[in-house]
Structure 1
Amino acid sequence: MTTSAKRFFRRAGITAVAAALLAGITPGVAAADKGRDRPDLQAMAEQIVASGFAGTQLRVHDARGDWTGSAGVRELGSAAKPPTNGRFRIGSNTKTFVSTVVLQLVGEGKVGLDAPVAGYLPEFGLDRRITVRMLLQHTSGLFDYTGAMLPDGTIVPGIPLTGKEFLDNRFHTYRPQELVRFGLSKPPLYAPGTDWTYTNINYVLAGLVIEKVAGRPYGDEIQRRILRPLGLRDTVVPGTWPGIPGPHAHGYYRYEEKPGQWKTVDITTQNPSWASSAGEMISTTKDLHTFFSALLGGKLLPAPLLDEMRKPHPKGGYGLGIYVQEASCGTVIKGMGGFHGYGTVMASTPDGSRTYELSMTYGDSDADLGQAYNKADQLLTDKVLCGK
């Protein structure tokens, strides 16, 4: 467990064991009460669940104010709804926090945005053409430790993250240096800066840059620079701790145990160290709303660096830690993440007048949840951000 995670549990006054027990005693009654206030939004939450998810939590901010609700179930086999203040694994939304801290260090003159990463992390023997900017925008060309598709279409596997092999190893601890060295053991996908490929290794390296420059773990620096100043009391960097503190919905993993035989496993408890600074964080819709609004409102970065963050790569539509997309109503800005059992989106119009934060928990459905995730995002983009 990282120092920031330990501080979270001390602040909450609970042990790791007690946190797991508390998860079962906070009812989701508020979902129904709030749902009556905005039946249109409650209907969307229920529509998202119907597409294949076990449960969802939704927070919306628009001209009519703030609304929170949930739909589906907290746990398979139970009728209780997900708590509207529930914690969940935010996956790659972690990257937005990490990018923000790196850019703060850039603003302080401690990191060069276009400086070679090798100058900060000489121990890895990185190609000196790879810059900090390339890490944040996914243009380094490095092979991802989670696996990759080569230019000729060949699939090269990474560390075990699927099927029974993953389940058998889901409490294994990975060190960030180990993840980086795995990726570096494979040939790069392309020359630095010549293409775009979303790869987690970039943000593991970014986390190590923070640690090297700041002299403390990246999670502690996120705590010091973002969580504490913004009062994000329900957000934590868990490190190797496998639980989720406080109220939360369960996430499930469905895999083919034998040909034609599918099995669903409760995956709520797992060691998230394989994701490291690319995706291990836990948060709530409320905390994500506070963070994203502060970021886009210029409270965390000076204007020139926020502008850099919001310049999308022409191929991936990815800036520096965020997606910058064109919707029917114009530009929208998003953080998107997936983790075993969980999917998350935080999204906003550029001026912050319309936002939504969405957590989805995977269940026992045989639906294509990747497609369902994208449909949920598109539904909320159209209805909430674009006001259709």
Structure 2
Amino acid sequence: MTTLELPSPRLEEWRWADMQALRAAADAEPRETGIDPADLFLDIEGPRLLFVDGVFEPAHSRPGRVQVTRLVAQTDHPLGQLAEGEGWSLTLGAQEAVTNIQIVHLGSGGESHVPARILLQEDAVASVVETYAGAGWANRLTQIVLGRGARLMRSVRLLQAGGFVSLRDEAEIGEAASLASIFLGAGNMGSRIDGALTLTGKGAFAEMGGALLTSGTQKQEAAVAVRHENVEGTSRQLWRAVAADRSVASLAARVEVARGAQQTDGEQSLRGLLLQRSATVNLKPELEIFADDVKCAHGATVGELDKRALFYLQSRGVTEARAKALLTRAFVADAMARIGEEAVRAAFEADADQWLEGAL
């Protein structure tokens, strides 16, 4: 059996990563999930693909323009380079559009690796919804190339009841192109969301953010780097973390502005909410700027629920549990509001509400 080589927590960029949980998930024996795959798809029209333990399942799929094919991982990322073999790809020509593509990943235990590749040519439009459920270690690599004026919306929800999900996103965003990726970690698994976005064209836009919700002894993490290489680029990193019990949520966001990338507009907003003082939220915003005509801002705060707001709601007849749920939902709402499709956004909000019912 090949020994699984994992990044060391002694490396700064992996200091918060829970490699022990990843290894335990990879070694777990498969077992029946009791989940009907049909229940994991949202009730929206569009292509559907199901992967069970990393293997494409045609019986519950209708790929449409999405191709199931073998892909070779072309990356130096230590986890991303493991994701090669059968995966999925989407290639759209100029001004073509395919929306509401659903990719569902269901795991029963052990490790699975699925690569994905998205190539949108000039002014092409696509939207993708990904769902992770079940158990085991789900390791994924998504590589994205957006041509001039192309637009891609990705919405990813992590709902596994256990195990670990590791996601590596690598994107090149061309002139006037737009990429928005929103993540919700509302399951009981460990996770690492890892992004490297490069704005190569003039006026490109990139957004990567979302909400991590943790409880028990769970650990979730997001580590994203956005690099501006051309003028008039805009990036947004808006992340929210809610931690209960003895859990840990960690957010690291980095913006790099290269020489010559003038008139860059970069924003980072990292906020953490502790439901109990035994929980931990780690925040690490970073800016590295080599241009002089830029507008970059970052903010990082960790706190507890506002006691005055709780008192106000209770004085109006709202129970303590309901008041906490309302304030916590409002805390993560701005991250979910970035999702473009109303039906998808409503599903993500329902997932967050279900987590809150169990945590509060």
Whichever structure has more helix as a proportion of its residues is: 1
Normalising by structure 2, we get a TM-score of: 0.26
Normalising by structure 1, we get a TM-score of: 0.24
Whichever structure has more strand as a proportion of its residues is: 2
